[in-house]
Amino acid sequence: MSTHVEQREFQAETRQLLDLMIHSIYSNKDTFLRELISNSSDALDKLRLESFRDKDLQVDTSDLHIELEVDKDARTLTVRDNGIGMTRDEVVDLIGTLARSGTGELRQKLREAKDAAASQELIGQFGIGFYASFMVADKVTLVTRKAGEDTGTRWESSGESTYTIETLDDAPQGTSVVLHLKPEDADDNLFDYTSQWKLEEIVKKYSDFIAWPIRMEVTRTTKGEDGTDEVSVETKTLNSQKALWARSKDEVSDEEYTEFYKHVAHAWDEPLEVIPLRAEGTFEYQALLFVPTHAPFDLFARERTTGIQLYVKRVFIMDDCEDLVPEYLRFVKGVVDAQDLSLNVSREILQQDRQIRAIRRRLTKKVLSTVKDMAKQDVDKYRIFWKEFGRVLKEGLISDTDNRETLLEIASFDSTASEDQQTTLAGYVERMKDGQEEIYYITGESRQLLESSPHMEAFEAKGIEVLLLTDPVDEMWVTSVPEYDGKPFRSVAKGEVDLGTDDEKKAAEAEREEQEKEFGELLTWLKESLDEHVKEVRLSSRLTTSPACIVGDTFSMSPALERMYRASGQPMPRTKRILELNPAHPLVTGLRTAHGERNDDPALAETAELLYGMALIAEGGEVEDPARFTRLLADRLARTV
């Protein structure tokens, strides 16, 4: 028997708002079940809490659960819980939120919201996820009774102009939501939500870690002894309830962590490092992060599918929440579960706020400190990590100034100090020569190319260590990072190099002045001959065996970086650089003598062009006209045969 039946009308704008929610806010119709299960989970949490607070509350909390019930013939799906339930007034207040939203204030805000994104934010302030049910149902019936109350409430609506609400004398404690399902429509991504496998799939994806059991009766078909099919019905718990991030590390085995990592990362390897994290206080969240052993194949792809999964109260929100970690930590996998976050009604768009920024800062620092500890305590594991992820981690040197010092501390680089072991910057500084004030580096495509570069000759002769930077990102960060531990970074291919001691510089000063006089006319002529390519020609103090090299100004852009910008579509003017000559090389001294004897010989200009081309090739560059350079070289070789 029921009493106090009341029919109410939605306000004029409500249908428009409901249409907007159904067709614009949610991108995946499957999420209706996530919303209903989430509401049920909240109701069970509230009942358990209320039973602790009110000892006189007569409720049975021994078997709190969520139940899915399917009626294929009637095409209904029921989501039922035995949680806290609602009173009639609460139903009007909570479930009627959308009905109350047709106010003058909201209408005015909707008129002011010109774009869809702004409209979504507004709807997120006024709607509730319960109404996602109308994406898949023609009619929704809700029956509920508040724990400790004698009467229940029945609410029903088809999402049109009216809804009914009535008081029930007899209703079970908790809440049941009955969906009268729409017909299956593949073109509209509307699936058969009476299908056992579909419901199991949705629960596994969105609600697997809900703390309460989600149960459903399922049919099993087995072969009998006589070979005939035997059909049985059993109650199955659809969710695992194993939220490993909610347990301390001591309570979880390595095998459980590995299994969970493979599940969330869709990976086959084992995690290199497990990072649990718990934040308590005014804003609570838990995290369980994993550093993979191997870099994923899509690490440098524009479109990546998995990263940090976001949960709110164990309810899955999104698969790859890019806001939770910086781009250079995109290889980190795992889960963040927050108690409260600013989500809009669809739970699909994360609102930017200080809580997200706080989580991001904390996760970033935790991952970097873990790598730092790894480098100190387990060198072999650290080397695996840096081999797989060092290149992407160095992107943070450009973008993350707040953590730059930490990144510099954990970074490793190839250097001339060892052929098979990389060095940290702290190790480099510790080995610096007396009087050395700068950290020297050289960038290029390979170690072999860099080690044979003419720019390295003076450093090899003096036994000065040079960092060999071969990753494309190295070209970028060395221009952004000024120093480490008070020692500025200095390219061996830029500016003038004078590695001698003060006494050596004094002793060589007179000799250099004499050389400047001897080679003065040659330097002037070469500058005029190669004016299209170089801005200056000078004698070098960095060359010992090569005849010439090309160097840039101290703060100029490297040729490799120029090529990277051009490849990305950015127009870059060609920068003239400096040609340095080795005054002790026979080719240079011979060119000086020849110029002094026959400065009008056209062949000398070709020699200058070959000298410049050789310097370009020696540093790994490309001559502008390879065919002409080859022809000139072939002619010269022919004369010597």
Q: Sign of the CA dihedral 412, 415, 417, 419? A: positive
**Is 130 known as a binding-site position?**
yes
Other beta carbons less than 10 A from residue 371's beta carbon: 23
**Is 21 known as a binding-site position?**
no
- Distances from the Cα of 250 to the Cα of 256, 423, 558, 622, angstroms: 12, 35, 51, 58
Q: What's the rounded Cα separation, in Å, for the pair 581 and 497?
A: 13
21-57 exposure pattern, b = at least 16 Cβ within 10 A, e = fewer? bbeebbeebbbbbbbbbbbbbebbbebbebbeeeeee
**Is 128 known as a binding-site position?**
yes
What are the residues whose beta carbons fall under 8 Å from the beta carbon of 21, sequence distance 6 or more? 98, 123, 127, 131, 132, 345, 346
Q: What's the rounded Cα separation, in Å, for the pair 413 and 468?
A: 7
Query: What does the H/E/C string look like for 157-187?
Result: ECCCCEEEEEEECCCCCEEEEEEEECCCEHH
Tokens of 565: 């910008």
**Is 102 known as a binding-site position?**
yes
Q: What are phi and psi of 468, to 5 degrees?
A: -105, 105
E strands of 103-161, at which residues?
Answer: 137-145, 152-157
- Distances from the Cα of 154 to the Cα of 2, 3, 4, 5, 169, angstroms: 9, 10, 11, 9, 10
Tokens of 144: 């509920």
Is the separation of the CB atoms in 497 and 457 below 8 Å?
Answer: no
**Is 81 known as a binding-site position?**
yes
Side-chain half-sphere CA neighbours of 125 within 13 A: 9
Place of tokens 């609400």: 165
**Is 126 known as a binding-site position?**
yes
Find residue 490's DSSP bridge partners: 440
**Is 347 known as a binding-site position?**
yes
**Is 520 known as a binding-site position?**
no
**Is 35 known as a binding-site position?**
yes
Q: Label the pairing between strands 162-168 and 2-9.
A: antiparallel
Is the separation of the CB atoms in 127 and 18 below 8 Å?
Answer: no
Eight-class DSSP state of 479: T
Alpha-carbon 534 to chain mean position: 42
Side-chain half-sphere CA neighbours of 604 within 13 A: 18
3-state secondary structure of 30: coil
Angle in degrees, 0-180, between the axes of helices 626-640 and 602-618, rounded to the nearest 10: 120
Eight-class DSSP state of 245: G
- Distances from the Cα of 1 to the Cα of 5, 152, 169, 449, angstroms: 11, 11, 6, 89
**Is 86 known as a binding-site position?**
yes
Which residues are part of a known binding site? 35, 39, 81, 86, 101-102, 125-130, 175, 347
Which residues are part of a known binding site for ATP? 35, 39, 81, 86, 101-102, 125-130, 175, 347
